[in-house]
Amino acid sequence: MKKTEMSSTAPTKEKNKEKSKQQILDAVGKLLVEKGYAALKVNDIATTAKLDKKLIYRYFGSTEQLLDEFVKSRDFWSNVNDERAPQPINDGGKAFTKAMFHEQFDTIFENKEFQHVLLWRLSQQRQSLQKLVEQQEASGELLFEHIIQPQFKENTPTFRAISAIIISGLYYLDMSTAHNSSIFCGLDMASTEGRNEVKKAIDFLVEQTYQHL
Amino acid sequence: MKKTEMSSTAPTKEKNKEKSKQQILDAVGKLLVEKGYAALKVNDIATTAKLDKKLIYRYFGSTEQLLDEFVKSRDFWSNVNDERAPQPINDGGKAFTKAMFHEQFDTIFENKEFQHVLLWRLSQQRQSLQKLVEQQEASGELLFEHIIQPQFKENTPTFRAISAIIISGLYYLDMSTAHNSSIFCGLDMASTEGRNEVKKAIDFLVEQTYQHL
DNA sequence: GTTTAGTGTCACCTATTAGTGACATTGTAT
DNA sequence: ATACAATGTCACTAATAGGTGACACTAAAC
């Protein structure tokens, strides 16, 4: 009978472990968003997770490993990786490029955790964060090879540079909006109008690039 | 005779105070560049300055005030403020805009202290850092009003957005070059070639904007 | 010489932080 | 019932952190 119970109900011990690990990982995310990566201390994490810090060491080995685990647990570049080209690409990727830039701009704006991870990886040399950079480069490379190169031929490097400016510009604007004043070049980057101006600018720049590069 | 000495030679005590204050401020800069803003701890600062931390409290009041003092002591936006338009502006500011973007890109690349302050102000809400944002906005506003507005009329907001993307893009690229891998969109942002591609891209984007916006 | 004010040094206190050993609790297998 | 293994709790250490009081030294004023 006891055996029957065991096999019918999932083992509660295991469940609690997974639940606790999840609580801890979530606490990292919460602290990251609320106080920034500098506030990621074991004691705070444990308190936020409402668990003893001992469990952090037991389940993750060390604070370092916990943070690495946290980074790995989030899939920040899924929206870039995923291959849903919304419309067939017969314009050399123009519409796709515009849409991707818009998506990046909005996704990062909404995802505070993402913003803090961007900032974190600018500030610290953590291996798991470095991996994000490589991952991002790799997924971007696919686009450049398959869509941009055929379109722009020998001008591909310039297109790369233009993309670099635009993408990193969007990153910075989203980060600075969340942490500093939201005014940049006189536009309110937290308002719909301001953000629409940026999107118009993106479309304009991409359009001009496709027409005149 | 003693009195004569006093009035002829500067009082050495005062001199030492100023020298010590300078040593402390320089130590902040050195630590900021070498270890990032998170490493700005009193003990480290004092050690780096080769002085007792007591002096930090005596001369600056607190660590907080020291850091504010440090930020105020540097004039990071002088290169933007200063009104040396290299050529007469009869092209609506096109050449000036290109030159300014290039200058920003290179200045920040070379000035590691500047990079760290950019990062610092994204990460922390310190009043003296916030003032930098306002100062920067104010000096930019002059350009928009006097040069851009007459040229672009009702399209000025779009031009603002384009500038916002480009400037913040240059910021981010310079920061990420120094702290992460220097590869972005497949271009090496630490190499001359990579940076020249970016400059070509800047010129192209500005050119297109002036021709077709 | 004595006083005085400012500079610099040292020892000390306190709070925070990371990390661990010991133990109590609980669910499960025998 | 007993043994066992994993979860969770607590008290403790050690290191690092910010900050201060007391005192020695020195240059100038009298």
With bands split at pLDDT 50, 70 and 90, how would you rate the model's confidence at B173?
Answer: very high
- Reported as a single tens digit per residue, the pLDDT across B50-70 is 999 999 999 999 999 999 999
SS3 assignment for chain A: CHHHHHHHCCCHHHHHHHHHHHHHHHHHHHHHHHHCHHHCCHHHHHHHHCCCHHHHHHHHCCHHHHHHHHHHHCCCCHHHHCCCCCCCCCCCCHHHHHHHHHHHHHHHHHCHHHHHHHHHHHHCCCHHHHHHHHHHHHHHHHHHHHHHHHHHHHHHHHHHHHHHHHHHHHHHHHHHHHHCCCEECCEECCCHHHHHHHHHHHHHHHHHHHHHC
Closest chain B CA to residue A169 = B169
**Residues lining strand D, beta carbon within 7 angstroms:** A 13-14, 16-17, 19-20, 51-52, 54-55, 58; B 2-3, 5-6, 9, 11-13, 41-44, 53-54, 57, 62-63
Contact B170, B108 (CB under 8 A): yes
At residue B8, the pLDDT reads: 34
With bands split at pLDDT 50, 70 and 90, how would you rate the model's confidence at B3?
Answer: very low
More confident site: B21 or B179: B21
| Positions on chain C within 7 A of a protein C-beta | 6-11, 16-22, 26-30
Eight-state DSSP code of residue B147: I
**For testing contact with chain A, the best of B165, B182, B198, B212 (most A CBs within 10 A):** B165
Question: Domain-by-domain residue ranges, chain A?
Answer: 2-73, 78-212
- What is the DSSP pairing of strand A187-188 with strand A183-184? antiparallel
Cα separation, A197 vs A209, in Å, equals 18
With bands split at pLDDT 50, 70 and 90, how would you rate the model's confidence at B169?
Answer: very high
Q: Do B179 and A144 touch (CB under 8 A)?
A: no
With bands split at pLDDT 50, 70 and 90, how would you rate the model's confidence at A13?
Answer: low
Cα separation, B141 vs B164, in Å, equals 12
Cα separation, A150 vs A155, in Å, equals 10
Nearest nucleotide to the CA of A42, by C1', is C18
Q: Of the given ranges (B24-28, B41-45, B133-137), which has the lowest mean pLDDT? A: B133-137
Q: Which residue is nearest to nucleotide C27 (CA to C1')?
A: A13
At residue A5, the pLDDT reads: 35
User: Does the pTM exceed 0.75?
Assistant: yes
With bands split at pLDDT 50, 70 and 90, how would you rate the model's confidence at A3?
Answer: very low
pLDDT of A124 over the 50 cut? yes
CATH 1.10.10.410 assigned to A2-73: no
At residue A75, the pLDDT reads: 85
Query: Bridge partners of B188?
Result: B183
- Window A126-155, strand C contacts by Cβ < 7 Å: none
Cβ–Cβ contact B137 with A under 8 A: yes
Query: Bridge partners of B162?
Result: none
Mean local confidence (pLDDT), B140-168: 95
At residue B140, the pLDDT reads: 92
Shortest distance, CA B71 to any CA of chain A (angstroms): 16
Q: Percentage helix, strand, coil, to 5, in chain B?
A: 80, 0, 20
Closest chain B CA to residue A165 = B169
- Reported as a single tens digit per residue, the pLDDT across A33-74 is 999 999 999 999 999 999 999 999 999 999 999 999 999 999
pLDDT of A196 over the 50 cut? yes
